[in-house]
Amino acid sequence: MEWNCTLTEDRLSDYLDGTLSREEAAAFEAHAATCAKCAKLVADVRGLVTRMQKLEPLAAPPMLVTRIVNATTGPQKQSAGWKNVLAWRPAVLQPRFALGLVTVAATILILMYTAGFTPTRWKHADLSPGTVLRTANRQAHLTFAKSAKFVNDLRVVYEIQTRLQPEAEPQQAPAVPQQNSSPANPQDRSQASPHPGHSQARTGVLLASLL
C-alpha cells in the first residue's frame, strides 16, 4: 500500500487509537520508519496525548458547590451542623491557607510566650486584662534587663581585650618609640619591652576588680 506524509498526518489519531486496519498500520509504520519528519510528528503527538490523558484535573474552587447550591435551592439550613463546618475543609487544605494558618498559629504562640503565658499551666485568672498587662510588663522588663546584662558583659570582654592588646602594639610599630627613647633610661626600657610576669599580674588585678 502506498503511503505518504499527508496520509500520515490525516490518519495519525486513527493509528494512535489502533483503529487502522493491519495493512494500513503496516504501511503507516513503514513510512514513519523512513521519514524523519513523520517519525518526529508521531512521537510528539503520541507523547502529548499520553501526557494530556494522565494530567490530573484541576481542583474546583472550594466554595463553588456551596455557591451553586445556595443560588439554586437556597442557603443550607443551620441544622446541617458539622456538614457546614466540613464544607470549609477543602479551602483549609489548600497549601496557601494551610501555610497561612501555621504562620498565624506560630505568631500567636510567640506572642503568648513573650507575654509570659504558658499554655500548659494557665488559669482563668491569667486571662484577665490586668494580669495579662502586668505579666507583659514584667516580661518586658526582664527582657530589657537581660539585654542590658548582655551588653554589659560584652563591654567587659571588650575592656579586657583592649587592655591586653597594647602590649603587642610596640613590637609591631617600633619606629616612633625607638627614636624618642634613650637606652640609658631604665623606665623607657621597661615600657618598650615589658616583663611577661608583670603583664599576667596586671590581668589578674583587672579581672579581680571586674568580678
Partner 1 sequence: MEPDAQLVQDCLRGDGPSWEELVRRHARRVFNLCYRFTGNSTDADDLSQEVFLRIYKTLPSYKASYGAFPTWLTSVTRNLLVDHYRRTRRDRLTDSIDDENAPQLEEKPSAMRSPDKIAEAGELSAQIQEGLAQLSPELREAVILRDLQGFEYAEIQAVLQVPEGTVKSRINRGRIELAKILGDMGLRPN
User: Which residues in this chain contact partner 1 in the complex, by CB under 8 A?
Assistant: 9-14, 41, 43-49, 51-53, 55-61, 64-65, 67-69, 71-73
Considering the complex, what minimum distance in angstroms separates the CB of residue 103 from partner 1? 19
Considering the complex, what minimum distance in angstroms separates the CB of residue 91 from partner 1? 14
> Whose Cβ is closer to partner 1: residue 100's or residue 174's?
100
> Whose Cβ is closer to partner 1: residue 94's or residue 107's?
94
> Whose Cβ is closer to partner 1: residue 52's or residue 151's?
52
What is the three-state SS of the chain? Answer: CCCCHHHHHHCHHHHHHCCCCHHHHHHHHHHHHHCHHHHHHHHHHHHHHHHHHHCCCCCCCCCHHHHHHHHHCCCCCHHHCHHHHHCCHHHHHCHHHHHHHHHHHHHHHHHHHHCCCCHHHCCHHHHCHHHHHHHHHHHHHHHHHHHHHHHHHHHHHHHHHHHHHHHCHHHHCCHHHHHHCCCCCHHHHHHHCCCHHHHHHHHHHHHHHHC
Considering the complex, what minimum distance in angstroms separates the CB of residue 1 from partner 1? 20
Considering the complex, what minimum distance in angstroms separates the CB of residue 80 from partner 1? 10
